[in-house]
Amino acid sequence: MPTGSLKSHFLKKPSAFVLCLLVSFVSIFGIACLIAYNSYRIATQNGVHSNETSANLLAKLILEHQRVVIDVVGSYGSRPLLVDAVKTKDSDSAIGHLSNLVKNNPEIEMAFISRANGTLFVNFPTFRETFNLNLSDKDWYKGVSKRWTPYVSSVYKLIVGEKELAVSVCSPIRDEKGKVIGILGATQSTVFFKNLFKEIGLDVDTKVTLIDHKGHIIYTNRFAYAREVIAYPSFEFVKRGLEGEKGNVEIQDSSDENKGKYISYSPIEGIGWLVIIEKEKKDLLRSQSPYLSLIGATSLSIFIVAVLFLMYLRARYGQLVALKALNEELTMTNERCRTEINERRLTEDALLKTQEQLRITSAQRLITQERERRKIATEVHDSIGSSLSAVKFRLDSTIQQMEKGSASRESLEGLLSTVQNAIEESRRIQSNLRPSMLDDLGILPTIEWHSREYGKMYPHIRIEKRVDLTEEEVPQSLKTVIYRISQEALNNIAKHGNATLVILSLQRRDGSIELAIQDNGQGFNVAETLSRESSKRGLGLSSMKERAELSGGAFAIESILGKGTTLRVSWPL
C-alpha cells in the first residue's frame, strides 16, 4: 500500500484526527505557557528588584532629609541669641527664632522649645494655650533626655491645630557652660512625607509605607489617611528591618484580605525607621496582561494554521481512502456484524445482571418483611397473646366461681392490670411500627419521644440533641424518612457501636436540611462493612442509604476505628 494511503487512512480516522489536533494544541499552547511563565517570572524578578531599588533609594532620600533637619535644628539650638532667649525666658524673642526656623526650612512645619524638664516654653505657629504644658511623657522628650543628644521621635498625634500625625526632630539647648536648659524641636507632619513620595513618582501599583522605630505607620498609601497612630502588621520581616536588616520577602497578607505580595524593606540608618515597598502579585500579573494576550493571540493563530493544514491533508488523501474503503467494505461489514453481536451480548449480560439485582433486592425485601413479621408475631405472642390467655383463664375461673355462687368483685378487678398490660404492649408495638405522634404532632416531638424511650431502653447511652429548626420547616414528605433513618441509626449504635454518647443533630444549613448522628463508639471499616452487608443480603446501612436517595437526599457515613462514627444525610429544599 502506498505511503500516501497510510497517511490518508491515519488522518481519516476521527480519533486520529482529534489526536493530531490535541498534540498540536498541547505543543503550541504548552510552548506558549512556558514563554508566558518565563515572562511572568522575569517580570516578578524585575518587580522585586524594582521594589528593592525603590526601598533603598527612599531610605537614603529620607535619611538625607532628616540629617539636614537634624543639622538645622542643632545649628539653631546653639545660636547665642536663641540660647539667651531661653535663659532669660524671653518668649517673644524665642518665637521669632522659631518663626525664622520654620520659614527658612520647608521640611519643617512647626517648631517648639521646651524646658529641660519637658514643660513647653513656646511654639510656632503660636498656640499660647499650650504654653507651660508638661510634655515629659512624650517620646521626643524621652528620646532626647535619655542621653541629651539629637533624637528623631516616633509618630504621634499633635495636640494643636488640625491634630495631624507628625514626628519631631529634637536637639538639646545648652548654655555656655554646657548645661542643658531646654529642647528645640522641629515638627514634620505626615503630609510632608506624602508630598515627598509624590515627587518621586513611583508606579501607581507600588504601595509605600514608612514606619518608625516602634513599628507605627508614619505614612502609607495602602489605605486612606487616618489621624490615629496605627501599628504596621507584626510580620517577622518588620522586626528584622527595625534591627537594621534589609531584604525581600513574599507573604500572604492576612491583614489585607490575605493577598499575595512581594515586599522589599530597607532600614534608615541612624534613625531607626523602616521603608517598606510592596506590590501585589495580581498587579504584576496585570502589568503583563498585554504581553500575555499577545502570546495567546499568536498561539491561537498558529493553532488555527495547524488545524487548517491537517484538514487539507485529510481532504487531499480522501480519494485514496475511498478506493481503499471499497476493498475493505466486506471486512468492515463482517466487523460491524461482530460488533453488533458483541453489543447484543453485552446488552443481554447487562439485562441479566439487572434481573439478578432486582431478584436480589426483591429477595432482600421479602426476607426483611418476613423478619419483621416474625418479630411482630413473636412480640404479639409473647406479650399480647400471653396477656389475653391470662385474661381467658381468669374469666373461665370467674365463670366457674359464679356458677358455684362464690364469685367476688376482686376476681374481676384482678383482670384490669392484665388488660392494661395488653393495651400498653399494643401501643408499644404500634409505636415501633409507626408512632402515631409522627402524624399527630410531627417529627420534632417524635424525635424527642423516641430519644426518651431509647434512653430508658439503653440507660448507659446519653443522647444529646441539637435541633435548630421548626416543625414547619421540615417538608411533610421527609418526616417519615428522617424518623426511620434516625431510628435505624440509633438501633445500630445500641447493637454494634459500644458507645456512651450520641449527638443527634437536625439543622437547616446552606439551603438544605441536614440530619447528623455522631457517636463515640468503637467505629468500623465502612467499605468492608458495606461489602459484607451486601454479601449477607442485609438492609442496614444500605436501607438507610436507599431511603435517603429515594427521598432526594445525599447519604454519607464516616467512621474511625476506636473513635466513633458520623452519619450525615442532607436534603435540598
Question: What's 539's DSSP letter?
Answer: -
Q: CB of 508 within 8 A of CB of 473?
A: yes
- Which of 393, 422, 451 marks a domain boundary? 422
Gap between the Cα atoms of 124 and 131, Å rounded: 11
Cell of 360: 436480589
Gap between the Cα atoms of 377 and 364, Å rounded: 20
Q: Look at residue 231 and give its three-state secondary structure.
A: strand
Q: Is residue 532 part of a domain?
A: yes
- Which of 367, 391, 422 marks a domain boundary? 422
pLDDT tier, 84 (very low <50, low <70, confident <90, very high otherwise): very high
> Do residues 166 and 250 both lie within one domain?
no
If you average pLDDT over residues 15-44, what whole number do you get?
84
Domain with 454, as residue range(s), is 437-572
If you average pLDDT over residues 372-397, what whole number do you get?
68
Q: Look at residue 227 and give its three-state secondary structure.
A: coil
Per the model's pLDDT, the better-predicted residue between 204 and 469 turns out to be 469
Per the model's pLDDT, the better-predicted residue between 241 and 430 turns out to be 241
Per the model's pLDDT, the better-predicted residue between 399 and 449 turns out to be 449
> What is residue 536's predicted lDDT score, i.e. its pLDDT?
47
The identity of residue 302, as a single letter, is I
Q: Which residues are within 8 A (CB) of 196 and not within 5 positions of it... i.e. 6 or more apart?
A: 61, 62, 65
Q: Is residue 492 part of a domain?
A: yes
Checking if the pLDDT of 19 tops 50, the result is yes
Checking if the pLDDT of 397 tops 90, the result is no
> Do residues 302 and 448 both lie within one domain?
no
Q: CB of 276 within 8 A of CB of 208?
A: yes
Per the model's pLDDT, the better-predicted residue between 9 and 503 turns out to be 503
Closest of 296, 250, 262 to residue 36, by C-alpha: 296
The identity of residue 117, as a single letter, is N
Checking if the pLDDT of 75 tops 60, the result is yes
Judged by average pLDDT, the poorest of 57-61, 243-247, 425-429 is 425-429
Average pLDDT, the chain: 83
Checking if the pLDDT of 7 tops 60, the result is no
> Do residues 268 and 404 both lie within one domain?
no
> Do residues 300 and 161 both lie within one domain?
yes
Cell of 503: 449527638
Q: CB of 307 within 8 A of CB of 41?
A: no
Q: Which residues are within 8 A (CB) of 98 and not within 5 positions of it... i.e. 6 or more apart?
A: 111, 112, 113, 122, 123, 124
Q: Which residues are within 8 A (CB) of 543 and not within 5 positions of it... i.e. 6 or more apart?
A: 368, 488
Question: To which H or E segment does residue 49 belong?
Answer: helix 14-77
> Do residues 270 and 377 both lie within one domain?
no
Determine how many CB atoms are found less than 10 A away from the CB of residue 429: 15
Checking if the pLDDT of 35 tops 50, the result is yes
> What is residue 382's predicted lDDT score, i.e. its pLDDT?
62
Distance of alpha carbon 533 from the chain centroid = 38
Checking if the pLDDT of 402 tops 50, the result is yes
> What is residue 300's predicted lDDT score, i.e. its pLDDT?
87
What sign has the CA pseudo-torsion 254, 256, 259, 261? negative
Cell of 431: 409505636
> Do residues 130 and 42 both lie within one domain?
yes
Residue 476: C-alpha distances to residues 432, 554, 570 (Å): 20, 18, 15
> Do residues 173 and 246 both lie within one domain?
no
Give the total number of structural domains in the chain. 4
If you average pLDDT over residues 254-267, what whole number do you get?
85
> What is residue 43's predicted lDDT score, i.e. its pLDDT?
79
Gap between the Cα atoms of 225 and 157, Å rounded: 13
What sign has the CA pseudo-torsion 118, 124, 125, 129? positive
Cell of 537: 443480603
The identity of residue 197, as a single letter, is F
Q: Measured over all CA atoms, what is the biggest interatomic distance in the chain, rounded to whole angstroms?
A: 143
CA angle at residue 360 from 358 to 361, to 5 degrees? 65
Q: Which residues are within 8 A (CB) of 187 and not within 5 positions of it... i.e. 6 or more apart?
A: 108, 109, 110, 111, 112, 158, 166, 167, 168
pLDDT per position as a tens digit, 218-244: 888 877 766 788 888 888 888 898 888
Residues 199-232 as b/e (b if ≥16 CB within 10 A, e otherwise) read eeeeeeebbbbbbbbebbbbbbeeeeeeeeeeeb
CATH number of the CATH domain containing 488: 3.30.565.10
Q: Is residue 427 part of a domain?
A: no
Checking if the pLDDT of 4 tops 60, the result is no
Closest of 173, 191, 190 to residue 182, by C-alpha: 173
Checking if the pLDDT of 97 tops 60, the result is yes
> What is residue 406's predicted lDDT score, i.e. its pLDDT?
67
Q: What is the CA radius of gyration of the chain?
A: 45
Q: Is residue 429 part of a domain?
A: no
> What is residue 423's predicted lDDT score, i.e. its pLDDT?
72
Checking if the pLDDT of 5 tops 50, the result is no
Question: To which H or E segment does residue 215 belong?
Answer: none
pLDDT tier, 324 (very low <50, low <70, confident <90, very high otherwise): low
Q: CB of 193 within 8 A of CB of 199?
A: no
> Do residues 306 and 176 both lie within one domain?
yes
Closest of 229, 222, 94 to residue 167, by C-alpha: 229
> Do residues 22 and 150 both lie within one domain?
yes
If you average pLDDT over residues 180-209, what whole number do you get?
83
Checking if the pLDDT of 200 tops 70, the result is yes
> Do residues 78 and 130 both lie within one domain?
yes
The identity of residue 543, as a single letter, is S
Gap between the Cα atoms of 135 and 118, Å rounded: 5
pLDDT per position as a tens digit, 455-514: 998 999 999 999 999 989 999 889 889 998 998 899 899 988 899 999 999 999 888 999
Q: CB of 183 within 8 A of CB of 113?
A: yes
Q: Is residue 244 part of a domain?
A: yes
The identity of residue 50, as a single letter, is S
Q: Whole-structure pTM over 0.75, yes or no?
A: no
Checking if the pLDDT of 179 tops 80, the result is yes
> Do residues 415 and 347 both lie within one domain?
yes
HSE (CB half, 13 Å, CA atoms) of 496? 14
Gap between the Cα atoms of 84 and 154, Å rounded: 30
> What is residue 410's predicted lDDT score, i.e. its pLDDT?
64
Q: Is residue 428 part of a domain?
A: no
Helix 14-77, helix 289-316: angle, nearest 10: 170
Q: CB of 529 within 8 A of CB of 541?
A: yes
pLDDT per position as a tens digit, 538-559: 446 777 888 888 889 999 999 9
> What is residue 8's predicted lDDT score, i.e. its pLDDT?
45
CATH number of the CATH domain containing 142: 3.30.450.20
Determine how many CB atoms are found less than 10 A away from the CB of residue 28: 19
If you average pLDDT over residues 170-195, what whole number do you get?
90
- Which of 266, 286, 306 marks a domain boundary? 286
> What is residue 567's predicted lDDT score, i.e. its pLDDT?
94
Q: Is residue 389 part of a domain?
A: yes
Closest of 310, 241, 80 to residue 174, by C-alpha: 80
Checking if the pLDDT of 414 tops 70, the result is no
> Do residues 199 and 74 both lie within one domain?
yes
Cell of 16: 486520529
Closest of 276, 286, 270 to residue 256, by C-alpha: 276
